[in-house]
Amino acid sequence: MKTAPHLPPKIQEITKIPYPEVTHIQLSNGIPVYVIPGTGSDAVKVDFYFDGGAWTASKPLIAHFCNEMLLEGTNRYTGHEIMESFDFQGSYIQPLAEKDMAGLSLMTIERKLNQSLRLVKHILRKSNFPADKLHILTQKKKQQYIIEYEKPKTIARNRMMANLFGENHPYGRIASPEDFDEVTRQDILKHFKENYGSNRLSIFLSGKFNSKTMQLLEKQFGETPWPVNESVLPSYSISPGPAYEMIEKADAVQSAIRIGWQVINRDHADYIGLQILNTVLGGYFGSRLMKNLREDKAYTYGVGSYIQNFRHGSLLAISSEVKKEFRQEAVQEILTEIKSLRAKKIPASELKRVQSYFIGNLLHNFEGPVNASDALKSLWEGGKDFSFVDQIVAETLAMKPATLCELANKYLREETMYQVIAG
């Protein structure tokens, strides 16, 4: 009997992202829990996110080391015993420290969830931040930082953030090697007490679990009162630095280039259009910057642009490393591409390609419950939920070349641009 030849799947336009349903519940003590169930793998991921990032810290590095030290010991277990226990359960625990948030990410299997949650609870309640471990950790990280600190790409990145937001702003603050010596156990304990309470915690649960899982979360994190700090989250003003900065390094072979702007957050009507514009400029391998600086001029192996969102601000930045002798030419070509986007509408064929890439890339964020949970956290930090995905797809498909030209003239202006070259 003859069989029909295998036919490739039909190519069709993606008009909707099939994101999972999210259940939002609240534990008895007010902790919000965002739940995305999954099937297949026995893996379960639980993320514990506190309003305890660099935004809430009074000094550089305090939020980072407070978070790192959570796994270095409690009043009952040493750091070695903690990690051995997670290993024995087939679990993995990772500290998370960002500009706005900090916490722990737990990956385990369903049948070991109760034991793992019990240990996480103990860590979040009874960490004692041993002074000897803190000294070892700060000195180890200091030595790593000293090496990284002098690299042109690190200098350019740090100076760009400082110039965009200000050196005293949490997003622009640059740690020095000497700051590692100023981290004290008292600072860590103060930060922990003020920021790791139930009123600053959100939990994200994803993967395979059953009806008893919520009972476990309630038992371990909802029933027992947590220390609650009523202090208000701090506020900061933005004090930008110089619009242009050149840092020469005689021994450097390459120069690192950073060009950036302060831009809008997700709640602005132009946000989705600006993401599409960024993709055209340098957001994927076929972007204009990549074609110009890598393919045509061979100035660099890599150049790109990106939008970075924080809770209290956002930036659009262009990043590349080029040979020293080509750095001015590379900057001019970058500016040429920016001017082109302001002066001329992009061809319809190019926009179609970018639309397909952008939506396809978005689709990858929802491959499985764990990825979907990560996508949810990113949206949640910006005050959005999965309904925003529908808006992204609709606006992307409806985007017009003229709109992108208008956005380029509105947000990619040279008079609001910051530029740093290091190397």
User: Per the domain annotation, does 346 fall within a domain?
Assistant: yes
What are residue 266's phi and psi, to 5 degrees? -65, -20
pLDDT the model gives residue 3? 54
pLDDT the model gives residue 229? 72
Question: What is the count of structural domains for the chain?
Answer: 2
**Domain match, 362 and 271 both:** yes
Place 4 in a pLDDT band, splitting at 50, 70 and 90: low
Q: Which structural domain, as residue segments, surrounds residue 256?
A: 244-422
User: Per the domain annotation, does 101 fall within a domain?
Assistant: yes
User: Per the domain annotation, does 349 fall within a domain?
Assistant: yes
User: Per the domain annotation, does 180 fall within a domain?
Assistant: yes
Q: Among positive and negative, which fits the CA dihedral 101, 104, 108, 110?
A: negative
pTM: 0.91
Measured distance between the N- and C-terminal CA atoms of the chain, rounded to whole angstroms:
70
What's the rounded mean pLDDT across residues 280-287? 96
pLDDT the model gives residue 396? 97
What are residue 309's phi and psi, to 5 degrees? -100, 130
pLDDT the model gives residue 9? 75
Q: Where are the alpha helices (DSSP H) in 243-292?
A: 271-282, 288-289
**Domain match, 218 and 253 both:** no
- Where does a domain end: 222, 254, 282? 222
Place 5 in a pLDDT band, splitting at 50, 70 and 90: low
The angle subtended at Cα 420 by Cα 417 and Cα 423, nearest 5°, is 160
Please state, in angstroms and rounded to a whole number, the distance separating the CA atoms of residues 175 and 181.
11
**Domain match, 345 and 216 both:** no
**Domain match, 165 and 48 both:** yes
pLDDT in tens, 12-26: 778 889 999 999 999
Percent of the chain with pLDDT over 70: 99
pLDDT in tens, 85-132: 999 999 999 999 999 999 999 999 988 999 999 999 999 999 999 999
Instruction: Calculate the CA 407 to chain-centre distance.
Output: 24
User: Both tokens of residue 222?
Assistant: 């909802």
Place 2 in a pLDDT band, splitting at 50, 70 and 90: low
Please state, in angstroms and rounded to a whole number, the distance separating the CA atoms of residues 300 and 143.
29
pLDDT in tens, 134-175: 999 999 999 999 999 999 999 999 999 999 999 999 999 999
pLDDT the model gives residue 210? 81
User: Per the domain annotation, does 114 fall within a domain?
Assistant: yes
Place 412 in a pLDDT band, splitting at 50, 70 and 90: very high
Please state, in angstroms and rounded to a whole number, the distance separating the CA atoms of residues 395 and 362.
13
**Domain match, 36 and 79 both:** yes
**Domain match, 217 and 297 both:** no
User: Per the domain annotation, does 10 fall within a domain?
Assistant: no
pLDDT the model gives residue 202? 96
pLDDT the model gives residue 10? 76
**Domain match, 157 and 106 both:** yes
pLDDT in tens, 223-241: 877 777 777 788 999 999 9
pLDDT in tens, 314-371: 999 999 999 999 999 999 999 999 999 999 999 999 999 999 999 999 999 998 898 9
pLDDT in tens, 21-78: 999 999 999 999 999 988 777 899 999 999 999 999 989 999 999 999 999 999 999 9
pLDDT the model gives residue 233? 83
CATH of the domain at 49: 3.30.830.10
* Proportion of the chain in helix, strand, coil states, percent, rounded to 5: 50, 20, 35
378 pLDDT exceeds 60?
yes
User: Per the domain annotation, does 236 fall within a domain?
Assistant: no
Place 195 in a pLDDT band, splitting at 50, 70 and 90: very high
**Domain match, 218 and 268 both:** no
User: Per the domain annotation, does 6 fall within a domain?
Assistant: no
Per the listing, tokens 């999972």 go with 20
pLDDT in tens, 264-281: 999 999 999 999 999 999
Decide: 113 and 210 in contact? Cβ < 8 Å.
no
**Domain match, 266 and 201 both:** no
pLDDT the model gives residue 146? 94
**Domain match, 199 and 345 both:** no
**Domain match, 91 and 156 both:** yes
**Domain match, 182 and 61 both:** yes
